[in-house]
Structure 1
Amino acid sequence: MDIRQLRTFHRVAALGSVTRAAAELNYAQSSVTGQIKSLEVSLGTDLFERVGGKIRLTPAGSRLLPYAGQMLSLADQARGATVADGQPEGQLTIGTMESITSYRMPSVLEYFHHRYPRLQLILRPSLCAETLHALRQGDFDAGFLMEAETQHSGVHSEVLGREPLAVVAAPNHRLAGEAKVSTDDLREEAVLAPEAGCAYRELLEAELNDGSGEPVPFLEFGTIEAIKRGVGAGLGISLLPRMTVTEELAAGTLAQLAWEPPFELYTQLAWRKGAALSRERQVFIDRVLESLSHEYRAQAD
């Protein structure tokens, strides 16, 4: 059992695919398969099984996964301690979401691209529940959350700031321009929403479908860009992080309705509690806390 085999095992487990792991690690698929087989032989047990054409961890593989994550983290720390120039290098896998990736991360990515060119940030699209699970399993080095709760079992999280939300509609919508919009007003509208599992969708859904009448129809559009186009075309209203509609509101292609959400969301950076932080992960955490926390404070002023 060696570090290369453990790293390959860890990526196959995280991605659920030999093909994707090979592409990420820049190996031939046969090399990935060979490394997994060699690891299984050295341990005397199968680590993966195929079910319906997909691969998943065996019980033995699930037990090995957190240890593999810890050993890889220690190996990264050891490597960092011996690098002559002390520059962070390697890869960090970050769980994130469309709104953070598109509207908050560009400045962070630019900083790392110029300051630490040998450190590769791999952004994995993930819903908050999936991110929390991946952090606990050691599949992600860090992850972004957008949740009402700020305490999470097995995970340490730092609040970057409160995430302002906005209900938007087409400029000619019947509620656009009204001085006040009630929850009952929203119940009469079709709602365009991201996929189930998104925190602000679930909070709005609970608020509108409180048993007082017919359930409000939610039209699942998947991406924020698709939602904005659908709203602009008059297909319904939507609740989105305000940062994602700033340009459209300024241009007048969307209108914000005068409804104040009775709940709050907090954008957070999280990592596995008790995990040894490699130099690379610490650099990433420090930069995100410095850059994005400042951005949220400026936004609140």
Structure 2
Amino acid sequence: MELRLLITFEKVASVLSFTRAAADLRYAQSSVTSQIRALESSLGVELFERLGSRIRLTEAGERLLPYARRIIELSDEARAAVVETGEPAGSIAVGTMESLTSYRLPPLLELFHHRYPKVRLSLRPTLGDETRQALRQGTYDIGFLMEPDTEHEGLESEVLAEEPLVLVASPRHPLAARADLTAADLAAAQLVGTEPGCPYRDLFEESLSQWSPPFMEFGTIEATKRGVAGGLGIALVPRVTVSEELASGALVELDWRPPFTLFTQIAWRRGKRLPAHVRLFVEQARRLVSEQQG
């Protein structure tokens, strides 16, 4: 089996699309199709079922996939061990969410941009379930999660920090001067939040499920903050995202603590041998987030 055929197979198996695989690999789609056919011919089995415009792995394809990934990873490891470049180099596909990208990761991104210019970072904005699935499939190399659970099926993960959450409002909001707020008080107010799937939005909504309050949805943290500052409602957000607004008085913290805890984590596929430049990324993420906490 040729390595290039296995690389193409692994990419198609990860994204389940010949078109997307061709774009990611920078091949013509006909080249991807011919390479898969060549691999199937050499093995004497079909690796994909064609279902109209969709494809899925056959049983043989499912059995081959973990071996293909191990061979590719070993090949990358061997190349890194033999070829000394003198500085870290390679690509890293990173799944992350907006609040982390904007408020936790800038020092890490700046470090790699200036100190390790041969490491190419590709940030993919996704939320928890999608990030975990992409890591298991090998579409992402590394993923940042903000979750209450710290164990994830098929993944290795490391907690970088407990992520403090804060309920915020405009200083002019009626609840701003109230103490000992209850869940019923919050459910009676206008709630502002990011889109469903955001972990702190979903957990906040679940904690108020007895009242089923409606949320005014904003697509981003920045839009949510502007809406709250404008008096449109109250929102639960990571403290790191509103530290400047709290310090300036543009927003105030309400007297309520969420009944759940979130942890910012870094994760990768279980059993994956991380190349040196990816291990460096993990080490620097660990260090910089720890310094932020200090």
Q: For this structure pair, what is the TM-score category when the shorter chain's length is used for normalisation? A: 0.7 to 0.9
Instruction: Find out whether 1:283 has 2:283 as its counterpart.
Output: no
* Aligned equivalent of 1:237: 234
Contact 1:170–1:231 (8 Å) recurs in 2:
yes
AA in 2 matched with 1:145: L
Distance 2:43 2:235 in 1: 52
After superposition, give the CA deviation of every residue in 1:193-218 in whole Å (9 maximum; x if it has no partner).
23333321222122111x3xx31112
Q: Which moved more, 1:126-135 or 1:47-56?
A: 47-56
* Aligned equivalent of 1:271: 268
Q: How far is the alpha carbon of 1:267 from its aligned partner?
A: 0.6
After TM superposition, list the pairs within 5 Å mapping 1:1-301 onto structure 2: 1-49=1-49, 53-209=53-209, 211=210, 214-296=211-293, 298=294
Distance 1:205 1:258 in 2: 18
TM-score using structure 2 length: 0.87
Distance 1:127 1:96 in 2: 7
Q: CA 1:78–1:288 in structure 2 vs 1: closer, same or farther (change >3 Å)?
A: same
Q: Which moved more, 1:253-262 or 1:183-192?
A: 253-262
What SS class does the counterpart of residue 222 from structure 1 fall into?
coil
Contact 1:74–1:278 (8 Å) recurs in 2:
no
AA in 1 matched with 2:99: S
Q: How far is the alpha carbon of 1:176 from its aligned partner?
A: 1.9
Q: CA 1:42–1:19 in structure 2 vs 1: closer, same or farther (change >3 Å)?
A: same
Q: Which moved more, 1:16-25 or 1:159-168?
A: 16-25
After superposition, give the CA deviation of every residue in 1:35-77 in whole Å (9 maximum; x if it has no partner).
3343343344444455574554444444433333222211111
Distance 1:183 1:149 in 2: 23
AA in 2 matched with 1:166: V
Q: How far is the alpha carbon of 1:19 from its aligned partner?
A: 4.3
Q: How far is the alpha carbon of 1:221 from its aligned partner?
A: 2.6
Distance 2:66 2:59 in 1: 12
Q: CA 1:19–1:222 in structure 2 vs 1: closer, same or farther (change >3 Å)?
A: farther
Structure 2 gap segments, 5+ residues each:
none
TM-score using structure 1 length: 0.85
Q: How far is the alpha carbon of 1:146 from its aligned partner?
A: 0.9
AA in 2 matched with 1:292: V
AA in 2 matched with 1:222: G
Q: How far is the alpha carbon of 1:162 from its aligned partner?
A: 0.9
Q: CA 1:7–1:101 in structure 2 vs 1: closer, same or farther (change >3 Å)?
A: farther
AA in 1 matched with 2:270: K
Q: Percent identity?
A: 54
Q: CA 1:250–1:54 in structure 2 vs 1: closer, same or farther (change >3 Å)?
A: farther
Q: How far is the alpha carbon of 1:187 from its aligned partner?
A: 0.9
AA in 2 matched with 1:14: S
AA in 2 matched with 1:202: D
Distance 2:117 2:183 in 1: 49
Q: What is the Cα-based RMSD across aligned positions, in Å?
A: 2.6
Q: CA 1:49–1:127 in structure 2 vs 1: closer, same or farther (change >3 Å)?
A: farther
Contact 1:170–1:254 (8 Å) recurs in 2:
yes
Q: CA 1:51–1:168 in structure 2 vs 1: closer, same or farther (change >3 Å)?
A: farther
AA in 1 matched with 2:252: A
Distance 1:148 1:227 in 2: 22
